[in-house]
Amino acid sequence: MEEMTIRGAQELVDAWIRKYGVRYFSELTNLAVLTEEVGELARVMARTYGDQSFKESDLGRDLSDEMADVLWVLICLANQTGVDLTEAFRRNMEKKSSRDATRHLHNDKLK
């Protein structure tokens, strides 16, 4: 499989929705689904890296799969609302680089 770009992922999700998904869920439904998926990711993180122990119902959950589920729904929301995630991410990185150019270098908590 060739390397995928963010734009390519947006196109792939859109093609999948049109072929298999019938249509996108409403934006509010997808926001609720995103929240659910982030919760599932948090559950795996808390059990893998935190202090909680695994339950039988947690077995078989995969961190990378949970992250991909979050990404999938985020891409759905971007497609539905006309957000070009490639451009949005580029702008966001520029903002962070400018705003936080020295902020973390002087944070004693990170040393």
DSSP 56-110: GGGTT--HHHHHHHHHHHHHHHHHHHT--HHHHHHHHHHHHHHHTTTTGGG-GGG
Selected residue with higher pLDDT from 25 and 101: 25
| Phi/psi of residue 83, nearest 5 degrees | -90, 125
pLDDT of residue 77: 98
Q: What is the value of pTM for the model shown?
A: 0.89
Q: What angle do CA 56, 42, 30 make, to 5 degrees?
A: 105
pLDDT of residue 7: 97
CATH number of 6-84: 1.10.287.1080
Residues 79 and 24 sit within 8 Å (Cβ to Cβ): yes
pLDDT of residue 1: 66
pLDDT of residue 59: 79
Domain boundaries, the chain: 6-84
pLDDT of residue 20: 97
CA distance 42 to 107: 27
Mean residue pLDDT across the chain: 95
Q: What confidence tier does 43 reach under pLDDT thresholds 50, 70, 90?
A: very high
pLDDT of residue 18: 96
